Chain A
Amino acid sequence: MSRLIAQKLFTKQSMAPSLLCIRSYHPIAKDFVKPITIEPLTYTTDSLQSKVLDHCLSNNVPKYGFKEKSIVESIKQLELSPSLVSVLGASNSPSFVHSSPAVLELIKYHLVTKRYELTKDIPQENIDHNNGLPSLEELLVKRLQMDIPIGSQLTDLFAQLSMPSQFLMETALPELLNLADDMIYFSNEKDHFDMAWYTKRLGVAFTYVASKLFMAQDISPNFVETMNFAHEKLNNVMKLGDYYNNTEEFAWYTLMVSVNLIKSQLSRN
């Protein structure tokens, strides 16, 4: 019986992880070979694809935005074959309404590598949430600052990310949740094992998106206004959590008091 179950589990190819648990179980890293790719990406960091996309992000995207033109320019500048454009987009399915697969790959690469960079300097083992970790706000601001070079292209990026499509469900949303998860795990924020686990992640993701939207229209020098906005927004979201906890505690207290009151009244007679 158990063998049957095991076989069913492990031979089934379609055990695709659901939206919420793309990076589900994290093994203890020191016992395992270091993975050569950053998870949703299918190529290594020293591959040709990474080289082109990296060059494109740092040199051409700030100028031309998330468009095919910046990829083509990068390929030209690196003196590679122009057919590489179709290789780049190989892992995305083409869509009539969305940008070309290569551009989608560029956006995916941007999201994934920036998320990876955010926590790269933090030691990945023996995470102690009480000391030695940055605060949630520091990580949030750090992530926002990473996008300062492409500040003028953010509106375009948002349009691409939020367009209802396969890309939104398979890449944009999971990456947003992964980012929120990383921010909470690698900061000194308290983590939870009930519904608060979800609400905290949603709260952080919401704060990040709101700050990014603000950033897209920010014209202050070095996006000072955005950083202030993020600070305030995060404080508000965390305060909301406190309100909820206090209300719950008070309701439970009241319930217990009234049950005990009724009990004592009944036993008196």
Chain B
Amino acid sequence: MYRRSIVSKVTQKKPLSKLSPLRAKSSPTTENTNEQTAKFEQFSSAQKAYLDRVVRVDQAGELGADYIYRGQIYVLSHKHPHLRPILDHMWKQEVHHRSTFNNLQLKHRTRPSLITPLWKLGATAMGVVPAMLSPEAAMACTEAVETVIGNHYNEQLRCLANQFNMEKTDGTKDEPEEIKKLTDTIKEFRDQELEHLDTAIKNDSHMAVPYKLLTEGIKSICKVAIWTAERV
């Protein structure tokens, strides 16, 4: 992260050639001025494959989160109305995350996960079943899921920061605009997911009865799901 910010500052300060403003003035459209700025070399196939995975797995993950909260709200909102605003708030954020990644998927033309129906079914079950045990168990489930997702996002951020410092035609190195945007999106979402984690702990997730069993079981299920969604 640190390295990236330094690099981007340097390139922003670097002045363009003296002639370029003249050329920009004489050209009729703004598009031509864009063409004169340096462009990036093409992504390698490994980089493309990685971004493809990132979009797919995050889309599937946010879809899962959306359905988990839906399931929890469906079960808990009548018996425990005091939880309703908390769950609603978290759910709305997840819906926003999901639609963001849906748009990214369409924009960059990656494919969605092939077993999307299975993710929907599994996530609903993961929301409904612990919520039926107790509201604390539901919160423990949230805690486990958000822990795994937070780690997963951090790993992606590290990789994006390390591997996407691309060569430009004028010899400098920088990250392409879309990578910066993706990094910012993932950072924002990671922070919100960790907020959900705090919310869950504040709402007595540690009081859930088979606490260890629940959290560890759900964590491993999430890890397997992430592994699969990256590939299929």
Contacts and interface: CB of A to CB of B under 8 A. Distances in A.
A85 B170 CA distance: 39
Contact of A198 (B39, B102, B114): B114
For the residues of B in contact with A, the DSSP-based class is helix
B108 A2 contact: no
B39 A21 contact: no
Contacts, number: 100
Most buried by B among A6, A20, A198: A6
A33 B40 contact: yes
B155 A5 contact: yes
B163 A25 contact: no
Contacts of B162: 2-3, 6
B178 A27 contact: yes
Contacts of A121: none
B176 A15 contact: no
Contacts of B109: 23, 25-26, 181, 185
Interface stretch (B46-54, B85-93, B202-210, B215-223): B46-54
A33 B42 contact: yes
A31 B40 contact: yes
Contacts of B49: 15, 17, 21, 24-25
Contact of B176 (A23, A27, A185): A27
A76 to B, nearest CB: 37
Contacts of A33: 39-42, 169
B183 interface: no
A2 B117 contact: no
Q: Which 4 pairs from chain A and chain B are nearest by CB?
A: A2-B158, A24-B52, A193-B102, A25-B52
Interface of B: 34, 39-43, 45-52, 55, 59, 102, 105-106, 108-112, 114, 116-117, 154-155, 158-159, 162-163, 169, 176-178
